[in-house]
Amino acid sequence: MRHEPRAPILQKSSWGDFHLLRIAAPEMAAEAGPGQFLMIRTSPGSDPLLRRPISLHDAGDGWLEIFFRTAGRGTAQLAAKKKGEALDVLGPLGQGFRLEGAWKAKAAWLVGGGRGIAPLFFLGRRLKARGARVKVLYGGKTSAEVPIAEKFEAAGLHPIVATDDGSLGLKGFVTALLEKELAAVKTPPKALFVCGPDPMMEKTAVLALARGIPAQLSLEAIMGCGFGACWGCVHRIRREGEGKWRKICEDGPVFAAEEIVWGEG
Ligand SMILES: Cc1cc2nc3c(=O)[nH]c(=O)nc-3n(C[C@H](O)[C@H](O)[C@H](O)COP(=O)(O)OP(=O)(O)OC[C@H]3O[C@@H](n4cnc5c(N)ncnc54)[C@H](O)[C@@H]3O)c2cc1C
Ligand code: FES
């Protein structure tokens, strides 16, 4: 874990409540993997006191990107930052997505709901670069809640979109889109990577387990420290037949579908 107290903001884009920041952080960028996250100080003072966890949306030569939705005070402060200001960040943190089988098998599906799409861009780019056939399923409540569909398109990741109100793509939940896509293929994907609200992830895990598709899911929790010190982020995880409280920040945030005990976060 590295600490960069003054990472300059190089670029900023906004779509309503959603924001994308690119920061300069060369050492972190060199180590970053898809599914890892940053802990970001959003205010120079003590309101809020705690850093906020935000996934790595992308990484390149000397830079990192984050994509986030305003949820409360911390993310509103982050959204107010301008190009040229600096961010105080810790990272990269956590155990991200494990890619091994996915690009060898060459068929990986990425399923993102709302702000949960954030880590899947970096993952999709990396899988594609390693020769995988990547399918992206991207859901939100309305067309305004899938603001980076075009960014995926521009990266050659061609997302299939679902919105609850039907204003863009299939009308319905992204899990319904996943069921439809699974029903349409002869050979199921060899890997599913998922991030979104808990009910969406639980449903996706059930679909994957029922079909024997290996799935990795990125869990969320309210985090105190982000690096294993406070036990504020535990979730019940079943490994070697035994369910234990594990730290999402340190043992995750990415876990296999069969490991996650739902409803005990
Ligand atoms: C590993 C990890 C990666 C994340 N990556 C992203 C990302 O890439 N983009 C993004 O937009 N968000 C992401 N989040 C969620 C983000 O951390 C929260 O939205 C943020 O901390 C809220 O802070 P706030 O001060 O704005 O809101 P607060 O005022 O603290 O809270 C506002 C509301 O959001 C709820 N809330 C706060 N934190 C969480 C949380 N972690 N999960 C669910 N509900 C929460 C609170 O209960 C409250 O109802 C991630 C969370 C984790 C744990
Ligand atoms: S957030 Fe402190 S232990 Fe996970």
- Which of 219, 247, 251, 255 gets mutated to test ligand 2 (max ligand atoms within 8 A of its CB)? 247
Among all ligands shown, which has an atom nearest to the Cα of 65? 1
Distances (CA, A) of 159 to 54, 209, 230: 22, 23, 38
Q: How many CA atoms lie within 13 A of 122 on its CB side?
A: 25
pLDDT digit of tens for each residue in the chain (265 aa)? 899 999 999 999 999 999 999 999 999 999 999 999 999 999 988 889 999 999 999 999 999 999 999 999 999 999 999 999 999 999 999 999 998 766 665 789 999 999 999 999 999 999 999 889 999 999 999 999 999 999 999 999 999 999 999 999 999 999 999 999 999 999 899 899 999 999 999 999 999 999 999 999 999 999 999 999 999 999 999 988 788 999 999 999 999 999 999 986 5
Indicate if ligand 1 lies below 6 Å from the C-beta of 117: no
DSSP state of 113: E
Name the pTM for this structure: 0.96
Q: What pLDDT, on the 0 to 100 scale, is given for residue 156? A: 96
Q: How far does Cα 124 stand from its chain's mean position? A: 11
d(CA 189, CA 217): 15
- Structural tokens at position 4: 């960069």
d(CA 221, CA 180): 30
Assess contact for 109 and 214: CB atoms under 8 A: no
**Domains along the chain with CATH numbers:** 2-93 (2.40.30.10), 100-218 (3.40.50.80)
Q: What pLDDT, on the 0 to 100 scale, is given for residue 102? A: 60
Residue 121 alpha carbon to ligand 2 centre in Å: 25
Q: Give the dihedral of Cα atoms 5, 7, 63, 150; nearest 10 deg.
A: 120
Among all ligands shown, which has an atom nearest to the Cα of 78? 1
